[in-house]
Structures are given as structure tokens and as C-alpha cells.
Chain A
Amino acid sequence: MPKTLLDVDGLTVRFEVKRGSGWGKKSYLYAVDDISFEVKQGETLSIVGESGSGKTTAALAVARLVPAHSGTVMLDDGNVLEKQGEDLRQTRQKVQFIFQDPYSSLNPRKRADSIVREPLDNLSEKSEDEKTTIVAELFEAVGLRPEQMKLFPHQFSGGQRQRIGIARALATQPELIICDEPVSALDVAVQAQILNLLRKLQREYNLTYLFISHDLGVVQHMSDAIAVMYMGKIVEHADRISLFTSPRHPYTQALLSAVPTVDRTQRAKQKRILIPGDPPDPINLPKGCRFANRCPIAEAQCSQTEPELKDVGQGHKVACHLV
């Protein structure tokens, strides 16, 4: 059993929102509301959800790129959320980020090699020669050619840009890499190239990924464990096989059934579960289960009390009264 690298407990991120005219009391949008999960060394945990589920915000909070309101994020027995100054710099070396949009995540005024080098310049004490060697190795590792080092981002294709982003994330030899929708902006054929690269790098460097995605096919392929988020909450958390073969939460079931598939046996077997309506207003959340108003099997208690995330056997956790 691999050791736990990242242990997130009760993470909450809220944003202040202005409603009404000026002086009213502050209201908060709880983008991430009291979520807990852990990621094992060398494995991939995917957080999957639709837009507005809070999956990206959760990832940004773990990387200290948005401030968390409460909770703990334990990495190597230290709470990431409490680090300041030099400690925070050390932590940044250990946690790196791969961004969604390869077009906006690279500074258009910098050459490829200095983009990859940036984390080394800011975070490490290495000599210039060492840095140059590392950058050259990274270029090779992600499948770029040495003569491309002096090019500017706009001279690369989307897939190549994402490779630069990956090289940058690898530069400080981080323990945890957070991938925020790393392939959703790419064409299908290029997606496969990047996904294969990420898995190859994971094997070679024993990397740990926190993988954020809305694409269940990609998640199925990439992860060892999956957490499904809906409206800021984790509704289901299980290992890959268990989640995909026997989803327990009605939202997960609907989500899985909605994915169009080319597999005919799958299509015949599967009845599509449509969930009508829209998610509730995130600022005035209903009491009880957040999915109750769209849930096909909701009962009276669902709109009264909020379900806890509980273990239903072999580590498969579900937040639903009816499971």
C-alpha cells in the first residue's frame, strides 16, 4: 500500500459576493464546501464534475493559488495552508500546476526555455549551468527538440505548448502535480499524445497527480481513484473500477449515463438518466442535499438534512441518504 502524500481535510473556499446595494450584509459563495480526500504517492486522484462544481477552485486552493477559508492540506506532515515566506517557497517547489489553456498559460513575451526555467530561477538555488542542463533534459523528456528552446509560445501548436507547460511543472521535481483540465482545450488526436506523455512521466518519475477534469472518458483512463463533485461538495469518492462499474450516487449515475459512447454493448446496456432543471443558486443553497431538486429518487428527508459522505464498503464513499 503506497503512503498517503496529500491529505486534504475539511477544505473550504468561499468568495465574497456583492448583492443588492452597497451596505447590505456580506454574502458568501462557498465554491468548495468542506471537502476531504487523500492522494497516495505515485497515484492519480481525479476530481470530476461539471462547470460550477468547484473542482478547479479546490485544486487552486491546494496549490495556494486562491486562499482557503478553512481546512487543512497536509503534504509531508506540514499544512500547506499555513506556510508563509520561505516555507511557502519550499512548498511551491513540491506542488506544481499544469493549466488548462495552453494558449493563455504561457507568457507570450518569453521564450520557451525561459518559461520552463522560471520556477528554477524563483525557487531553487541551483547554478546557471545546472539550470541549463535541467531545462535541456526537460525539453527532451516532454518530446520537444532542443532548437525549439528559443522560440516564442505563439510559434508552437496547442499540443506543443502544453508540453512546455508540463516541462515547466516538472522543473523543480515536485512531489505533487496538479493537472487542471490539461487536455480539454486540445484536439482529440493531440489529447491522446498529451495523456500518454503524462502517464509516461508518471511512471518514469513516480509522480503523483491531482487530476481535474470534466471528461469522464479521460478520467477513467488516467486515474486510480476518483472524487465526484457537485456544487462544492464531494458526492462520491471511490477507486476507478468501483466508481465506473458500480456508481452509487444518483448524480454520478446520471453523469456516467450522459457520456456518449461508441461502445455498443455499453450503449444498449445503459439507460440514459436525464436530470432536468438547473443546479440551485450557489449563494442561496437549499437546506438538505444540493442535488435533491434534480434527483430522480429524492425523498422528503433529502430536502431536510444534508447527507454525510460515508463509507459504504471497501473505501467507496457516497454522500446520499438513500444508499
Chain B
Amino acid sequence: MSKMESEQEFEKARSPFAEAWGMFRRNHTAVGALGVLLLILLGAIFGPFLYGVDPFEMVWAPFSPPGEEGFMLGTDYLGRDLLAMIISGARVSLLIGLSAALVSILIGVTVGALAGFYRGWVEEVLMRVTEFFQVLPTLLFSMVLVALFGASLPMITFAIGVVSWTAVARITRSEFLRIRELEYVMAARASGGSNKTLMFTVILPNALPPIIVQSALMVGSAILFEAGLSFLGLTDPNVVSWGQIIGSNRQYILDAGYTVTFPGIAIFVTVLAISLVGDGLNDALNPKLRQR
């Protein structure tokens, strides 16, 4: 049609995902954090096979300092190998972090999407429910749940998920409210799209970036939350988690500080890495920064 347009150099079709990765790659801190996170993940998956010490077995005298007697991180108050416990704890902490985040995303996205899409009384009811959960004292509420229904891993996961979905719901709703007014949603309606199509294939994919960022950060906060619960003793006694190691050794903090320091560092590094990755995702997925 016009010569200029045909002269334009042919641009390659890059998917939004490839584009976001390109942006993410330029943030060196976030890439570093992602590396650390992958190492932790690999350690959690393969660690127990590589380091075959049973974390529940009393292998040596209690309070053996790190590096001495052949135990890299020493032993705890029962004489269990701290390194084995931290490796094993990584599995539990990460698992709870991920699945609690998943639970809260499922609840949050559903509530937020319905509220933002249908508006009216649906929104009114759902947002009041959301507010109800928002004003609950979260730690207390999840303690009650765990105390009532027993301290199993699924219950703890659920307890964490159920108190932390409100932020996702609010973000999803506000994104839906914004996007539903955009012309491409109107265009999809004019093209005969049903409500279901509009919600799930038109609006939701476009609402995802802030939800993804929030989810990443939520994995971190769920790990912290779990640590808090197990510190208080509300944890499955049959598994080891980082918070539980700190909790059970807390009386000896003055005599054997390392028993709480090492799991503390593990939590700190993991959560920090997750936040940094979340930050990087935020920049990568933010369309304003993506413009050349």
C-alpha cells in the first residue's frame, strides 16, 4: 500500500514472554537472585540424596560447634546434624511457600476477577468478604485454624493461604476494573465473545503481570509465615522446617547461637532472593518501562 511501510525492516515476532525475559535479563541483581534461588531449589530437591544423613537421627553429642567433629554446621540440642536438618527443611519451607501462594492465588484471582468483571452486587458482596478477611489478625486466625484442625502440612498451607489471598483479590479486581473499560475488551464483545471468553482469554492474560509479581512476593511471605507458626510450635512434628529448627533451639540461643543463626540465614537468603526476583519481574512486566 505505501512504500515506507514496506521498506520498514522486518521485525521479528517476539512473544510478550520473550520480551519480558529480555527485560529481566538486563537487571543483574534479579538475575543473580534467580541463580541463588535455583541453587536453593536444586539443594532442596537433590540435597537429601547427596548428603545422606537422616535429619531426625541423633548423630553426635548435642551442641557440637560447626566445623568441628566432622559436622559442617554442627549439631542441635538433641545432637542432630544441623546441615541435614536445613537441607530437609528447605523442602518443607519451599513447598509450603509455593503451595500456600498457589492457594491464595486461586482464591484471590477468582474473587477479584468475579468482582471486577460483574461489578454491582457481586462486587459489593465479594469485596465485603475480602475486607472481612483483611481485618482478621492473620497470625492469630491461622493459629486458631491449625490448633483446631491439627498441624498437618496441608492444613498449615491452607491456613497461610486463607489469610493472605486478600491482596491478590484486590489487585486482580483493580486490574479487571481497568482493563474491562479498554476498547479491546469492547472489541472482543463486538466480535461475539461470551463473558467467559472475555474474562479468561481477554482480560485475565492482560491482568497477569501484577498478579505474577504479587505471587512471587507471596511465596516469600508464606515462608516467613510458616517460620513464624513453627517457631510457635504450630507445626507438623513429623517434618523439619527452618522455622521449626529455630523454634526448638530458641532456649539455647545464648549458648549455641549457631543453631538459630544458620536456619535464620537460610530463611533470610531465600526470602531476599524471592523479593529481588519479584522486583525484577515487576520491572520486566511493567509495560511503561518496556517502551524503548
The finding on whether chains A and B are genuine partners in a shared complex, rather than unrelated, reads: yes
**A interface with B by C-beta (< 8 Å):** 60, 63, 65, 89, 92-93, 96-97, 99-101, 104-109, 111, 118-119, 122-123, 142-145, 147, 150-152, 155, 157, 160, 165, 168, 193, 197
In the complex, what residue of chain B is closest to A169 when comparing beta carbons? B190
A122-B195 Cα distance, complex, nearest whole Å: 12
Closest 9 CB pairs of A and B: A143-B1, A122-B192, A105-B183, A119-B191, A123-B192, A150-B13, A99-B183, A97-B190, A107-B184
Also in contact, A96 and B190, with CB within 8 A (given A105-B184, A107-B206): yes
Which residues of B have CB within 8 Å of A165? 187
A151-B13 in contact (CB<8A): yes
Bound together, the chains give a CA A151 to CA B16 distance in angstroms of 11
Given contacts A105-B184, A106-B184, A122-B197, contact A89 B192 (CB under 8 A): yes
Interface residues, chain B, CB within 8 Å of chain A?
1-2, 5-6, 10-11, 13-16, 182-184, 186-194, 197, 202, 205-206, 287
Please report the number of residue pairs spanning A and B whose Cβ atoms sit closer than 8 angstroms: 81
Known interface pairs A99-B187, A109-B205, A143-B2; A122-B193 also in contact (CB < 8 Å)? yes
Whether A155 contacts B191 by the Cβ 8 Å rule is no
Contacts of A107 in B (CB 8 A): 184, 187-188, 202, 206
Nearest to B189 among chain A residues (CB) is: A65
Give min CB distance, A167 to chain B, whole Å.
Answer: 12
Contact B186 A65, beta carbon cutoff 8 Å: yes
Task: Give Cα distance in the complex from A104 to B205, angstroms.
Answer: 15
Ordered by A's residue number, 21 sampled pairs between the chains whose C-beta atoms are within 8 Å are A63-B190, A65-B186, A92-B192, A96-B190, A96-B191, A97-B186, A99-B183, A99-B186, A101-B183, A105-B187, A107-B206, A109-B16, A119-B191, A122-B192, A151-B11, A151-B13, A152-B16, A157-B5, A168-B187, A168-B191, A193-B1
Closest to B1 in A: A143
Q: Measured between alpha carbons, how far is A309 from B189 in the docked complex, in Å?
A: 33
Question: Which A residues are CB-close (under 8 A) to B194?
Answer: 122
Nearest-neighbour CB distance to chain A for B206, whole angstroms, equals 6
Chain A nearest CB from B152 CB (Å) reads: 39
Q: Are B13 and A92 in contact (CB under 8 A)?
A: no
Shortest distance from the beta carbon of A85 to any chain B beta carbon, whole Å: 11
Min CB–CB distance B143 → chain A (angstroms): 39
Residues of A within 8 A of B187 (CB): 97, 99, 105-107, 165, 168
Asked if A100 and B183 make an inter-chain contact with CB atoms under 8 angstroms apart, the answer reads yes
Is A152's CB under 8 angstroms from B13's CB?
yes
Taking a contact as CB atoms under 8 Å apart, the answer to whether B190 and A109 are in contact is no
A123 to B194, CA, bound (A): 11
Q: Compute how far the CA of A136 lies from the CA of B205 in the bound complex, rounded to whole angstroms.
A: 26
- Minimum distance in angstroms from B34 CB to a CB of chain A: 24
Q: B192: which A residues are within 8 A, CB to CB?
A: 89, 92-93, 119, 122-123
A152 touches B14 (CB 8 A): yes
Task: Decide yes or no: A104 and B182 within 8 Å by CB, A99-B187, A118-B193, A119-B192 being known contacts.
Answer: yes
Note all chain B residues with C-beta closer than 8 A to A152.
13-16
